[in-house]
Amino acid sequence: MASLGRLKSTIFDREEKKMQYQSHIRGLNAYDRHKKFMKDYVQFYGHDKNVDSSLPIKTDKDTLREGYRFILSEEDDMDSTWEKRLVKRYYDKLFKEYCIADMTQYKKGKIGLRWRTEKEVISGKGQFICGNRHCDEKHGLGSYEVNFSYVEAGEQKQALVKLVACKRCAEKLAYKREKEKEKEKEKEKEKEPSGEKEIELRDRDKRKREYAESDETSEEEAEKDTRKKKGTDNCSHLFVWSCI
């Protein structure tokens, strides 16, 4: 009876350990589970080779970087790989009412956008605080709908997103476009005569007209004098008139 009791106890302990092990394994993702199995293999079979040194280090962050999509499509939802499921869980945790922007490259016309994290939602970042990740301005905020065009996984995509920004950061959103407009205006000004040049041209034309009018008057007076002197000047008929 004692040996039967010990046998039952042994079986119970073994099953309990098995359940605990399975529960622990189920709590790991596929890659961590793989590392766990390799470590256990070394422990059970006594190989001295360090398994960790031979395995490429791939963290959850690496997986998220590879598989994350700004907006998940239906095809992404249907994917059943563990990487995609991990990304889907991460995606579901994010709050998609407002965006956070990275404006460090705004002069190049590049704005990075992402959804807010739970911590940012609680603190009001991106809603009651400027959505620029490097700005904490709380006053003079405005809500802007941004047509976000981006390339993801080799595919051109677009999304209309909402961004709260202060006046200074809002100007960064349109910085490149405004600069292009300024350049176009400068080119147009170069083509057209400036204000001073225009005045100078008008004055010159006016002087020309006045000179022409005075010249015509002097010629008329000279002609009258010639008529008066006609008969006394025997050489007047020698002049040959030409168009200058």
Residues shown for the chain: 244
Q: Is 106 helix (H, G, I), strand (E, B) or coil?
A: helix
- Please tell me which of 10-24, 31-45, 144-158, 230-244 the model is most confident about, judged by mean pLDDT: 144-158
Q: What pLDDT, on the 0 to 100 scale, is given for residue 186?
A: 82
Among candidate residues 61, 124, 110, the one with its CA nearest the CA of residue 90: 61
CB 61, CB 31: distance < 8 Å: no
| φ and ψ of 134, to 5 deg | -105, 15
Among candidate residues 181, 135, 150, 15, the one with its CA nearest the CA of residue 70: 150
User: pLDDT higher for 134 or 226?
Assistant: 134
Average pLDDT of the chain to the nearest whole number: 71
Q: Is 150 helix (H, G, I), strand (E, B) or coil?
A: strand
Model pLDDT for residues 39-72, shown as the tens digit of each residue: 665 665 555 555 455 555 666 667 667 676 777 6
pLDDT band at 119 (very low <50, low <70, confident <90, very high): confident
User: pLDDT higher for 65 or 109?
Assistant: 109
Domain boundaries in the chain? Answer: 20-55, 59-93, 96-183
Model pLDDT for residues 20-32, shown as the tens digit of each residue: 666 666 777 765 7
How far is residue 121's CA from residue 132's CA, in Å, rounded to a whole number? 14
Beta bridge partners of 216: none
In sign, the C-alpha dihedral spanning 225, 231, 237, 239 is negative
CB 127, CB 164: distance < 8 Å: yes
DSSP string computed for 17-58: HHHHHHHHHHTS-HHHHHHHHHHHHHHHH---S-HHHHSPP-
Helix segments in the chain, DSSP class H? 2-26, 30-45, 51-54, 60-67, 74-78, 82-93, 118-123, 167-173, 175-191, 195-229
What is the C-alpha radius of gyration for the chain, rounded to an integer number of angstroms?
43
Q: What pLDDT, on the 0 to 100 scale, is given for residue 130?
A: 96
Q: Is residue 85 pLDDT above 90, yes or no?
A: no
- Please tell me which of 80-84, 147-151, 212-216, 229-233 the model is most confident about, judged by mean pLDDT: 147-151
Model pLDDT for residues 152-165, shown as the tens digit of each residue: 778 888 888 899 99
